[in-house]
Chain A
Amino acid sequence: METWTLSLGANGVIALAYFIIAWTILSGIGRSGQILANPLGVATGFIFLTCALGHAAHAIHLVLPIWGLEVAEGLAAREHFADWHIWAIDGVTAMIAVWYLTLRSRFPALVRGSKLFEDIRQRQTQALEIHDNVVQGLAEAKLAIERGEQEAGLEKLGETLERSRKIITDLMGPAGSEIELGPGDLRRRAAAGGQK
Protein backbone atom coordinates (compact mmCIF):
# COMPACT_ATOMS: atom_id res chain seq x y z
CA MET A 1 0.00 0.00 0.00
CA GLU A 2 1.31 3.42 -0.88
CA THR A 3 1.60 5.69 2.15
CA TRP A 4 -0.27 8.60 0.53
CA THR A 5 -3.41 6.49 0.85
CA LEU A 6 -3.10 6.81 4.64
CA SER A 7 -3.41 10.58 4.24
CA LEU A 8 -6.27 10.03 1.81
CA GLY A 9 -8.17 7.99 4.39
CA ALA A 10 -7.41 10.40 7.20
CA ASN A 11 -8.47 13.47 5.20
CA GLY A 12 -11.64 11.72 4.15
CA VAL A 13 -12.54 10.92 7.75
CA ILE A 14 -11.69 14.46 8.90
CA ALA A 15 -13.77 16.03 6.13
CA LEU A 16 -16.79 13.84 6.90
CA ALA A 17 -16.57 14.40 10.67
CA TYR A 18 -16.14 18.16 10.26
CA PHE A 19 -19.09 18.39 7.84
CA ILE A 20 -21.31 16.61 10.35
CA ILE A 21 -20.13 18.79 13.23
CA ALA A 22 -20.61 21.99 11.19
CA TRP A 23 -24.09 20.88 10.13
CA THR A 24 -25.10 20.02 13.70
CA ILE A 25 -23.98 23.38 15.06
CA LEU A 26 -25.22 25.61 12.24
CA SER A 27 -28.56 23.88 11.78
CA GLY A 28 -29.21 24.03 15.54
CA ILE A 29 -28.43 27.74 15.59
CA GLY A 30 -30.57 28.33 12.54
CA ARG A 31 -33.55 26.42 13.99
CA SER A 32 -33.42 28.38 17.24
CA GLY A 33 -33.20 31.69 15.37
CA GLN A 34 -29.87 32.68 16.86
CA ILE A 35 -27.87 33.44 13.76
CA LEU A 36 -27.43 37.06 14.81
CA ALA A 37 -27.53 36.49 18.56
CA ASN A 38 -24.91 33.74 18.79
CA PRO A 39 -21.90 34.86 16.71
CA LEU A 40 -19.57 32.51 18.59
CA GLY A 41 -21.68 29.53 17.68
CA VAL A 42 -21.91 30.65 14.05
CA ALA A 43 -18.17 31.26 13.82
CA THR A 44 -17.45 27.84 15.35
CA GLY A 45 -19.76 26.19 12.86
CA PHE A 46 -18.07 27.93 9.95
CA ILE A 47 -14.61 27.03 11.18
CA PHE A 48 -15.59 23.38 11.01
CA LEU A 49 -17.23 23.87 7.61
CA THR A 50 -14.22 25.56 6.01
CA CYS A 51 -11.84 23.01 7.52
CA ALA A 52 -14.06 20.24 6.17
CA LEU A 53 -13.85 21.77 2.70
CA GLY A 54 -10.07 22.02 2.97
CA HIS A 55 -9.59 18.40 3.97
CA ALA A 56 -12.10 17.27 1.35
CA ALA A 57 -10.07 19.18 -1.25
CA HIS A 58 -6.90 17.33 -0.14
CA ALA A 59 -8.64 13.99 -0.51
CA ILE A 60 -10.10 14.83 -3.91
CA HIS A 61 -6.76 16.10 -5.17
CA LEU A 62 -5.14 12.80 -4.27
CA VAL A 63 -7.65 10.69 -6.24
CA LEU A 64 -8.13 12.87 -9.34
CA PRO A 65 -5.23 11.20 -11.23
CA ILE A 66 -7.22 7.94 -11.15
CA TRP A 67 -9.55 9.53 -13.70
CA GLY A 68 -6.74 11.23 -15.61
CA LEU A 69 -7.59 14.63 -14.12
CA GLU A 70 -4.93 17.08 -12.90
CA VAL A 71 -2.43 14.27 -13.06
CA ALA A 72 0.73 16.28 -12.47
CA GLU A 73 -0.74 18.17 -9.51
CA GLY A 74 -2.31 15.01 -8.10
CA LEU A 75 0.93 13.04 -8.30
CA ALA A 76 2.81 15.93 -6.66
CA ALA A 77 0.21 15.91 -3.90
CA ARG A 78 0.66 12.15 -3.45
CA GLU A 79 4.39 12.65 -3.05
CA HIS A 80 3.78 15.40 -0.46
CA PHE A 81 1.22 13.39 1.49
CA ALA A 82 3.47 10.31 1.46
CA ASP A 83 5.68 12.09 3.99
CA TRP A 84 5.14 10.27 7.31
CA HIS A 85 4.91 13.54 9.20
CA ILE A 86 1.90 14.52 7.11
CA TRP A 87 -0.07 11.26 7.32
CA ALA A 88 0.80 10.87 11.01
CA ILE A 89 -0.58 14.32 11.84
CA ASP A 90 -3.60 13.74 9.60
CA GLY A 91 -4.15 10.43 11.34
CA VAL A 92 -4.16 12.04 14.78
CA THR A 93 -6.44 14.80 13.48
CA ALA A 94 -8.84 12.18 12.14
CA MET A 95 -8.97 10.41 15.51
CA ILE A 96 -9.64 13.68 17.31
CA ALA A 97 -12.33 14.58 14.78
CA VAL A 98 -14.12 11.29 15.39
CA TRP A 99 -13.78 11.72 19.15
CA TYR A 100 -15.22 15.25 18.93
CA LEU A 101 -18.10 13.88 16.91
CA THR A 102 -18.87 11.38 19.65
CA LEU A 103 -19.29 14.31 22.02
CA ARG A 104 -22.36 15.43 20.06
CA SER A 105 -24.52 15.37 23.17
CA ARG A 106 -22.69 18.51 24.31
CA PHE A 107 -23.35 20.47 21.13
CA PRO A 108 -26.68 21.79 22.43
CA ALA A 109 -24.79 23.81 25.08
CA LEU A 110 -22.86 25.55 22.31
CA VAL A 111 -26.07 26.15 20.38
CA ARG A 112 -27.95 27.39 23.41
CA GLY A 113 -25.23 30.00 23.89
CA SER A 114 -26.84 33.37 24.11
CA LYS A 115 -30.30 31.86 24.54
CA LEU A 116 -29.14 30.54 27.90
CA PHE A 117 -27.76 33.98 28.66
CA GLU A 118 -31.11 35.56 27.76
CA ASP A 119 -32.96 33.11 30.02
CA ILE A 120 -30.71 34.06 32.93
CA ARG A 121 -31.25 37.75 32.26
CA GLN A 122 -35.01 37.23 32.18
CA ARG A 123 -34.92 35.41 35.50
CA GLN A 124 -32.83 38.20 37.01
CA THR A 125 -35.38 40.76 35.83
CA GLN A 126 -38.17 38.72 37.42
CA ALA A 127 -36.13 38.35 40.60
CA LEU A 128 -35.68 42.12 40.80
CA GLU A 129 -39.40 42.66 40.36
CA ILE A 130 -40.21 40.20 43.13
CA HIS A 131 -37.59 41.83 45.32
CA ASP A 132 -38.83 45.37 44.72
CA ASN A 133 -42.52 44.60 45.03
CA VAL A 134 -42.65 41.77 47.55
CA VAL A 135 -39.51 41.50 49.67
CA GLN A 136 -39.23 45.25 50.22
CA GLY A 137 -42.91 45.49 51.10
CA LEU A 138 -42.74 42.61 53.59
CA ALA A 139 -39.58 44.00 55.17
CA GLU A 140 -41.25 47.37 55.63
CA ALA A 141 -44.44 45.82 57.03
CA LYS A 142 -42.47 43.67 59.48
CA LEU A 143 -40.38 46.59 60.72
CA ALA A 144 -43.47 48.74 61.17
CA ILE A 145 -45.28 46.06 63.19
CA GLU A 146 -42.20 45.39 65.30
CA ARG A 147 -42.02 49.11 66.06
CA GLY A 148 -45.63 49.05 67.22
CA GLU A 149 -47.06 50.66 64.09
CA GLN A 150 -49.73 48.00 63.57
CA GLU A 151 -51.95 49.92 61.22
CA ALA A 152 -49.16 51.03 58.92
CA GLY A 153 -47.73 47.52 58.93
CA LEU A 154 -51.04 45.89 58.06
CA GLU A 155 -51.65 48.41 55.30
CA LYS A 156 -48.26 47.65 53.81
CA LEU A 157 -48.97 43.92 54.06
CA GLY A 158 -52.21 44.39 52.14
CA GLU A 159 -50.46 46.37 49.39
CA THR A 160 -47.71 43.77 49.15
CA LEU A 161 -50.24 40.97 48.89
CA GLU A 162 -51.92 42.69 45.96
CA ARG A 163 -48.62 43.30 44.18
CA SER A 164 -47.64 39.66 44.73
CA ARG A 165 -50.87 38.47 43.16
CA LYS A 166 -50.32 40.66 40.13
CA ILE A 167 -46.76 39.39 39.66
CA ILE A 168 -47.87 35.78 39.91
CA THR A 169 -50.72 36.35 37.50
CA ASP A 170 -48.42 38.02 34.99
CA LEU A 171 -45.89 35.18 35.29
CA MET A 172 -48.63 32.61 34.66
CA GLY A 173 -49.21 34.10 31.25
CA PRO A 174 -52.27 35.85 29.81
CA ALA A 175 -55.70 34.22 29.76
CA GLY A 176 -56.49 32.47 26.50
CA SER A 177 -52.81 31.99 25.65
CA GLU A 178 -51.38 28.78 24.22
CA ILE A 179 -50.28 27.75 27.72
CA GLU A 180 -53.69 28.13 29.40
CA LEU A 181 -53.72 26.44 32.78
CA GLY A 182 -55.56 23.20 33.13
CA PRO A 183 -55.98 20.20 35.44
CA GLY A 184 -52.64 19.07 36.88
CA ASP A 185 -50.79 22.34 36.14
CA LEU A 186 -51.23 23.55 39.69
CA ARG A 187 -49.99 20.41 41.37
CA ARG A 188 -47.26 21.18 43.93
CA ARG A 189 -44.34 19.00 44.96
CA ALA A 190 -45.03 19.66 48.63
CA ALA A 191 -47.54 21.49 50.79
CA ALA A 192 -47.15 25.29 50.71
CA GLY A 193 -45.19 26.87 53.55
CA GLY A 194 -43.16 23.76 54.17
CA GLN A 195 -39.97 24.78 52.32
CA LYS A 196 -37.24 26.54 54.35
Chain B
Amino acid sequence: MTEPDELITTLIVDDVPGLRRLVRYTLEDDGRFLVVGEAEDGLQAIERARELRPRLVLLDLSMPKMDGLEALPSILQVSPDSIVLVLSGFSEDRLGPIAGRFGAMGYIQKGVAPSELLARILSLMGETNGDVPASGLC
Protein backbone atom coordinates (compact mmCIF):
# COMPACT_ATOMS: atom_id res chain seq x y z
CA MET B 1 0.00 0.00 0.00
CA THR B 2 1.15 3.50 -0.81
CA GLU B 3 2.45 5.37 2.21
CA PRO B 4 0.45 8.48 3.16
CA ASP B 5 3.32 10.84 2.37
CA GLU B 6 3.64 9.28 -1.09
CA LEU B 7 0.04 9.94 -1.98
CA ILE B 8 -0.57 12.45 -4.71
CA THR B 9 -2.44 15.29 -3.07
CA THR B 10 -5.07 16.45 -5.48
CA LEU B 11 -7.36 19.43 -5.89
CA ILE B 12 -10.40 18.85 -8.13
CA VAL B 13 -11.81 21.94 -9.80
CA ASP B 14 -15.14 21.59 -11.60
CA ASP B 15 -18.45 23.41 -11.39
CA VAL B 16 -20.44 20.15 -11.67
CA PRO B 17 -20.75 18.53 -8.20
CA GLY B 18 -21.63 15.14 -9.69
CA LEU B 19 -18.46 15.08 -11.78
CA ARG B 20 -16.32 16.17 -8.85
CA ARG B 21 -17.74 13.31 -6.80
CA LEU B 22 -17.15 10.71 -9.51
CA VAL B 23 -13.60 11.88 -10.19
CA ARG B 24 -12.84 11.92 -6.46
CA TYR B 25 -14.11 8.36 -6.01
CA THR B 26 -12.13 7.22 -9.05
CA LEU B 27 -8.92 8.69 -7.67
CA GLU B 28 -9.45 7.49 -4.12
CA ASP B 29 -10.34 3.96 -5.24
CA ASP B 30 -6.96 3.78 -6.98
CA GLY B 31 -5.12 4.27 -3.71
CA ARG B 32 -2.38 6.54 -4.99
CA PHE B 33 -4.29 9.77 -4.66
CA LEU B 34 -5.50 11.84 -1.74
CA VAL B 35 -8.13 14.40 -2.69
CA VAL B 36 -7.40 17.28 -0.34
CA GLY B 37 -9.89 19.76 -1.72
CA GLU B 38 -12.48 20.72 -4.29
CA ALA B 39 -13.42 23.98 -5.96
CA GLU B 40 -16.36 24.95 -8.13
CA ASP B 41 -14.89 27.91 -9.97
CA GLY B 42 -11.58 29.54 -10.80
CA LEU B 43 -11.60 31.92 -7.84
CA GLN B 44 -12.10 29.10 -5.35
CA ALA B 45 -9.46 27.08 -7.17
CA ILE B 46 -6.85 29.78 -6.62
CA GLU B 47 -7.69 30.03 -2.92
CA ARG B 48 -7.67 26.27 -2.40
CA ALA B 49 -4.38 25.95 -4.27
CA ARG B 50 -2.87 28.68 -2.11
CA GLU B 51 -3.99 26.92 1.11
CA LEU B 52 -3.38 23.31 0.13
CA ARG B 53 -0.40 23.42 -2.30
CA PRO B 54 -1.55 20.20 -3.97
CA ARG B 55 0.78 18.17 -6.17
CA LEU B 56 -1.95 17.77 -8.72
CA VAL B 57 -4.75 20.06 -9.84
CA LEU B 58 -7.46 18.68 -12.14
CA LEU B 59 -8.92 21.77 -13.71
CA ASP B 60 -12.13 22.19 -15.68
CA LEU B 61 -12.26 25.06 -18.16
CA SER B 62 -15.84 26.24 -18.46
CA MET B 63 -16.87 27.52 -15.02
CA PRO B 64 -18.76 30.49 -13.58
CA LYS B 65 -17.08 33.54 -12.00
CA MET B 66 -13.65 32.65 -13.37
CA ASP B 67 -12.93 30.03 -16.01
CA GLY B 68 -10.03 27.61 -16.05
CA LEU B 69 -7.89 29.55 -18.50
CA GLU B 70 -8.20 32.67 -16.35
CA ALA B 71 -7.37 30.79 -13.16
CA LEU B 72 -4.45 28.71 -14.49
CA PRO B 73 -1.65 31.29 -14.25
CA SER B 74 -2.77 32.37 -10.76
CA ILE B 75 -2.95 28.76 -9.56
CA LEU B 76 0.61 28.24 -10.70
CA GLN B 77 1.65 31.49 -9.09
CA VAL B 78 0.28 30.57 -5.63
CA SER B 79 1.30 26.91 -5.91
CA PRO B 80 4.29 26.77 -8.25
CA ASP B 81 5.04 23.09 -7.63
CA SER B 82 1.55 21.95 -8.59
CA ILE B 83 1.02 20.05 -11.81
CA VAL B 84 -2.13 21.32 -13.48
CA LEU B 85 -3.93 18.96 -15.82
CA VAL B 86 -6.99 20.20 -17.61
CA LEU B 87 -10.00 17.88 -17.48
CA SER B 88 -12.54 19.31 -19.89
CA GLY B 89 -15.38 18.43 -22.20
CA PHE B 90 -13.92 20.51 -25.00
CA SER B 91 -11.93 18.83 -27.73
CA GLU B 92 -8.24 18.44 -26.92
CA ASP B 93 -7.32 19.49 -30.46
CA ARG B 94 -9.09 22.81 -29.97
CA LEU B 95 -8.34 23.77 -26.39
CA GLY B 96 -5.29 21.65 -25.57
CA PRO B 97 -2.70 23.96 -27.14
CA ILE B 98 -4.39 27.01 -25.60
CA ALA B 99 -4.40 25.44 -22.15
CA GLY B 100 -0.74 24.53 -22.62
CA ARG B 101 0.15 28.13 -23.37
CA PHE B 102 -1.39 29.15 -20.04
CA GLY B 103 0.62 26.60 -18.10
CA ALA B 104 -1.30 23.32 -18.17
CA MET B 105 0.99 20.30 -18.25
CA GLY B 106 -1.58 18.10 -19.94
CA TYR B 107 -5.12 17.85 -21.22
CA ILE B 108 -7.66 15.07 -20.70
CA GLN B 109 -11.03 15.06 -22.42
CA LYS B 110 -14.01 14.25 -20.19
CA GLY B 111 -15.80 11.07 -21.09
CA VAL B 112 -12.82 8.72 -20.79
CA ALA B 113 -13.32 5.55 -18.77
CA PRO B 114 -12.12 5.63 -15.13
CA SER B 115 -9.17 3.35 -15.88
CA GLU B 116 -8.08 5.54 -18.76
CA LEU B 117 -8.52 8.68 -16.68
CA LEU B 118 -6.14 7.25 -14.10
CA ALA B 119 -3.71 6.05 -16.76
CA ARG B 120 -3.66 9.45 -18.47
CA ILE B 121 -3.14 11.31 -15.20
CA LEU B 122 -0.29 9.03 -14.12
CA SER B 123 1.28 9.11 -17.56
CA LEU B 124 1.18 12.90 -17.74
CA MET B 125 2.52 13.21 -14.22
CA GLY B 126 5.28 10.79 -15.06
CA GLU B 127 6.19 12.88 -18.10
CA THR B 128 6.49 15.94 -15.89
CA ASN B 129 8.59 14.04 -13.29
CA GLY B 130 5.70 14.12 -10.87
CA ASP B 131 7.18 11.17 -8.91
CA VAL B 132 4.30 8.78 -9.39
CA PRO B 133 3.97 6.08 -6.75
CA ALA B 134 4.72 2.59 -8.09
CA SER B 135 1.36 1.13 -7.19
CA GLY B 136 -1.72 1.96 -5.23
CA LEU B 137 -3.15 -1.10 -3.57
CA CYS B 138 -1.39 -3.73 -1.47
Contact = CB atoms under 8 A, between A and B. Distances in A.
Contact of A136 (B16, B23, B113, B114): B16
The size bracket of the interface on B is: 10 to 19
A131 B19 contact: no
A131 B114 CA distance: 21
Interface in B24-54: 25-26
B114 A143 contact: yes
B18 A140 contact: yes
Contacts of A156: 18
A119 to B, nearest CB: 18
A147 B21 CA distance: 12
A10 B104 CA distance: 59
A163 interface: no
B62 A132 contact: yes
A128 interface: yes
B110 to A, nearest CB: 4
B90 interface: yes
Contacts of A128: 62
A135 B19 CA distance: 12
Interface in B100-138: 110-111, 113-114, 117
B11 to A, nearest CB: 19
B89 interface: yes
Given A131-B89, A147-B114, A136 B19 contact: yes
Most chain B C-beta atoms within 10 Å of own C-beta, residue among A128, A139, A142, A152: A139
B22 interface: yes
B90 A131 contact: yes
A139 B23 CA distance: 11
Given A136-B16, A143-B19, 8 more contacts: A131-B62, A131-B89, A131-B90, A136-B110, A139-B111, A142-B111, A143-B114, A144-B18
Q: Which 8 A-B pairs have the closest CB atoms?
A: A139-B110, A135-B89, A139-B111, A143-B22, A140-B19, A140-B18, A146-B113, A131-B89
